[in-house]
Structure 1
Amino acid sequence: MSGLTDRWGRVHDYLRISVTDRCNLRCLYCMPEEGVAFTESSNLLSFDDIVQVVEAGAKLGISKLRITGGEPLVRANLDQLIVRLAGIPGIEDIALTTNGVLLAGQAAALRAAGVTRVNISLDTLDPVRFKFIARRGDLKRVMEGIEEAARVGFSPIKLNCVLLKGINEDEITDFLRLAYEQPLHVRFIEYMPIGHADDNWKNHYLPLTSVLDAAAVAGYSVQRKHNVKGNGPSDDWEMEGGIGSFGLIHPVSDHFCKSCNRLRLTADGSINPCLYWVDELNVKPALGDAAALEAVFAKAMAVKPENHEMAAKLADEALTHVPTERRMSQIGG
């Protein structure tokens, strides 16, 4: 059995690595419009540090990595880190999550370095609405990034769409059509209260039953799809006659904690056992000592909770633990 088995019997083989908490967008569900206090560059984990942590994790059973941020492509020379991570014994798969704004210029180098798959955040297909949700940036550049990712051979290409009631729910059918007509996997994601659980979250939260309802109204015949490559908790579907597919990620309405296989490494050097709770374990004191790093991973297994309680938060019920105050961009979603 893997050395990374928690108290509930869940085996962990997947590490999400945030390489920066900085981002070139300010998406309304991820970061305040004014931004947050970013980590000083001197306090970020260096590439050498990240490699040390992954080497320790790989000895314990970590085999799958995902590079995240913030926006990972604002970290200089990211392809150099990827080359090093891909060469660690035991690492079999390296994926990347990006907002796509800088992807067109880096896709080829990332592919050559060892990134196998990309997830691209895309919450709207409307340029004006893009400016409203992201608060900056250009939808055209994201679409160019998607095209270049396909050209250099990334497969599958997944589009992450956070559904926001009253903002982009009217585009569900447009995204379904995109997945029907192109070899893309569109993933609809519920809005999570990471770092905030205010009225803005509750007012814009939308359960994903609306997606299957929209597919039926649009006349798509759907059936479950079981062979979408990836490490995540997506509930996947395909449309009869369609080229692509779509998935539902519903952490609030139907949490998937029983099958959780992931840990997160923040850009400033903490292992986060659960995205929602406050618990974090600083790896910096253990750097330079492989056994000490392995001990940090072991402690993460010891403190990881059985589940998060986002649904309880939505219902204004009491929680058994303390939610994090860090925003999604500061943790690495």
Structure 2
Amino acid sequence: MQSSNQPVDLHIVGATDTNELICVVPAARAWFKASENFLKQIVLLLPISIIDSSSDGLNYIITNVDYGRISKLSIKKCIAYFEQFSTGREQEGLASLLRSPAISITDLCNIKCAYCYVEAPGVTKSNRKQVQFEGASSFIEAIAKAGSKTVQFFGGEPSTYSELPQLIEKARSEGLDVRISSNGISSRLRSPAYKAAVSDRNVHWRISLDSHIESKNDLHRGKGTYSSIMKNLEYLASADSYVSLKCVLSEGSLEDLEGYLDFAASFGFKVTYTIMFPVGDAKAKGMNASISEFDIVKELFSIGCRRPEIMPILNPSPFGFMLRSIFLRDALCVPRFTLYLHSDGNIYPMDSMIDEKYRVSKVNLNEENTPRDISSLVDLGKALRIQSESSLNGARCARCCVKPFCYVENSDSWEIPNIPSQKEFASCSSKRSAIKFLMLHEKDCKLLVRRMLPESSSRTVH
């Protein structure tokens, strides 16, 4: 939050070919282009502290400004002035906390990915857990009454949970859309038990497929996985299911990315992605992505400019989110923290914070007769406090010049408990470069956003 006796930070993050400066005012969640003369004039009228946050070495400095004469009221007026340039992106709070609740219904997984972030292969049969059906049902009822619109099921592998079809039915009966993160291996998806869920367009199947090339997918996910996944993808496509493919990008992925998009488009599927990060099994084996968020954004930008018809399938991806947060008015944030029911029966802010000090549930949902309202299940005050201290409003992000536009689902956030809250993630620098890059290519990006949105959308591109 902006201090009442400090000038408002205005960051210069780059310059266009026509020498316009790209300016970001985090306190107002705003960005705009301005001439050097404009800044020199406005700094005499408003309490601005100009910071060179570019990678171009602009060294832009304004001197001889007496900020000691600035009143508290003028700080508020200053922020209000810059809010006219804001896209109005949502700030994190209770609404975002309730937006995407998730249930890790089981620790069990039916494959052994080389880079598994939760180290699933290290979970022995003796300590594997799964959430009890009644507890999961209580959680679903509670979040629905509290205003949530969706719930996500993942694990482990959700399809190994015998009562998954019944949980999907329960969530849909409460009016919730359902998202299921699955490795897409199990033939159960083609069984009669799943028929209703597969044919329901309000059930979103997010299937993990690292490559449309069999040998490359099976390299990390295991021999034969591609063949099993393809059987289910063909079945889901024939049933007109709502499907997105999720790939874990690593070294060599970029050269195949356009082909992967074409593969997904041929089925009518969406695409999202994450980057392989050295945590869990990947860390133990010395695996790393060798690519960055910035590398991916530049590649997708290039593909989109050449082939804008491909943009709709990228809507749910990090690239799509960055475009929406920068260029679309009233964009919703993607919360780093949510209400996450773990297979141990407790609720935490996210799946990397499975620790007593982060537990926000008031009861264990694997016990009998659990309550079915959110205030009895969750310490919302504690959950919001953790969100405030550790997310975009926390010390870690306080001085970041582009935090209002950040895609906050950092791959390396799995190590949150082990990183001091004021220390940046390893991916932060790359994300900043990616966001600055998109701002510098404003004209092209606005066209990409318009092509990405559904034709029926009335959203305003900023």
Give the TM-score normalised by the residue count of structure 2: 0.53
Structure-1 separation of matches of 2:131 and 2:95:
30
Match of 1:280 in 2: 359
Distance 1:269 1:217 in 2: 44
1:221 corresponding residue in structure 2: 307
The answer for unaligned runs of 5 or more in structure 1 is 238-246, 249-255, 323-333
Write the distance in 2 (CA, Å) between the matches of 1:8 and 1:273. 12
Match of 1:170 in 2: 255
RMSD between aligned alpha carbons? 4.2
Matches of 1:190 and 1:214, distance apart in 2: 14
Closer, same or farther: CA 218–191 of 1 in aligned 2, 3 Å: same
Cα distance in 2 for partners of 1:313, 1:98 equals 21
Cα-to-partner distance string for 1:20-68 (whole Å, 9 max, x where unaligned): 1111111122158881224758852211110011212222222211111
TM-aligned CA distance change 1:16 to 1:233, over 3 Å: farther
1:92 and 2:172 correspond? no
Q: Deviations for 1:74-99, whole angstroms, at most 9, x for unmatched residues?
A: 111321221122222xx331121111
Q: Is the 8 A contact 2:118 2:280 kept in 1?
A: no
**2:240 paired residue number:** 153
Of 121-130 and 206-215, deviating more is: 206-215
Instruction: Assess, with a 3 A threshold, how the Cα gap between structure 1 residues 174 and 208 changes in structure 2: closer, same or farther.
Output: farther
Within 1, Cα distance between the matches of 2:262 and 2:314?
18
Q: How has the CA–CA distance of structure 1 residues 60 and 194 changed in structure 2, closer, same or farther, with 3 Å as cutoff?
A: farther
Give per-residue Cα distances to partners, 1:113-169, cap 9 Å, x unaligned: 8862211100022323333201354211101111111122212x2100110125x34
Q: 1:58 to 1:41 in 2, by over 3 A?
A: farther
Name the CA distance, whole Å, in 2 between partners of 1:233 and 1:28. 23
Equivalent positions of 1:56-71 (< 5 A) are: 56-71=142-157
- What SS does the corresponding residue of 1:66 show, helix, strand or coil? strand
Q: Look up the SS of the partner of 1:44 in the other structure.
A: coil
Distance 1:63 1:38 in 2: 35
Pair 1:30 & 2:116 matched: yes
- Tell me the residue number matched to 1:300: 383
Q: Which residue of 2 aligns with 1:240?
A: none
Counterpart amino acid of residue 54 in structure 1: I
What residue number does 1:241 align with?
Answer: none
Aligned pairs for 1:101-250 (under 5 A) are 101-102=185-186, 104-106=189-191, 107-111=194-198, 116-155=203-242, 157-166=243-252, 168-192=253-277, 195=280, 198=283, 203-214=288-299, 216=302, 220-222=306-308, 234-236=318-320
Change (3 A) 1:34 1:224: closer
| Pair 1:55-2:134 in alignment | no
Partner of 2:190: helix, strand, or coil? helix
Structure 2 residue matching 1:13: 3-state secondary structure: coil
Aligned to 1:264: 340
Q: Is the 8 A contact 1:26 1:33 kept in 2?
A: no
Tell me the SS of whatever aligns to 1:65. strand
Residues 190, 205 of structure 1: 8 Å contact kept: no
SS of equivalent residue, structure 2 residue 273: strand
**Worse-superposed segment, 30-39 or 173-182:** 30-39
Q: What residue identity is the alignment partner of 2:100?
A: Y
C-alpha distance in 2, partners of 1:150/1:21?
Answer: 28
Letter in 1 for 2:221: A
Query: Counterpart of 2:166?
Result: 80
Q: 1:226 to 1:153 in 2, by over 3 A?
A: closer
CA distance in 1, matches of 2:351, 2:119: 22
Of 285-294 and 262-271, the range deviating more from structure 2: 285-294
Q: Matched residue of 2:339: which SS?
A: strand
Is the 2:272–2:317 Cα contact (8 Å) retained in structure 1? no
- Output the TM-score relative to the length of structure 1: 0.71
Give the AA of the match of 1:131: D
Aligned residues: 295
For residue 319 of structure 1, the aligned residue among 420, 434, 437 is: 420
The 1-side partners of 2:266 and 2:166 are apart by 35
Which range moved further: 195-204 or 15-24?
195-204
* % identical equivalent positions: 20
Query: Secondary structure at the residue paired with 1:162?
Result: strand
For structure 1, which segment, 213-222 or 157-166, has the greater mean C-alpha deviation from structure 2 after superposition? 213-222
> Would the aligned equivalents of 1:108 and 1:152 in 2 still touch at CA under 8 Å?
no
Higher relative contact order (Cα pairs below 8 Å, separated by 6+ residues): 1
Q: CA distance change for structure 1 residues 179 and 226 in 2, over 3 Å: closer, same or farther?
A: closer
Give deviations 1:224-274, integer Å, cap 9, x for gaps.
957978xx664339xxxxxxxxx99xxxxxxx9954173322122222213
Question: 1:102, 1:170 → 2: CA distance?
Answer: 29
The answer on whether the counterparts of 2:180 and 2:204 sit within 8 Å (CA) in structure 1 is yes
Mean Cα deviation higher: 102-111 or 48-57: 102-111
Q: Whose radius of gyration is greater, 1 or 2?
A: 2
Which ranges in structure 2 are unaligned for 5 or more consecutive residues?
1-90, 324-330, 397-409, 424-462
Residue 15 of structure 1, CA deviation? 1.0
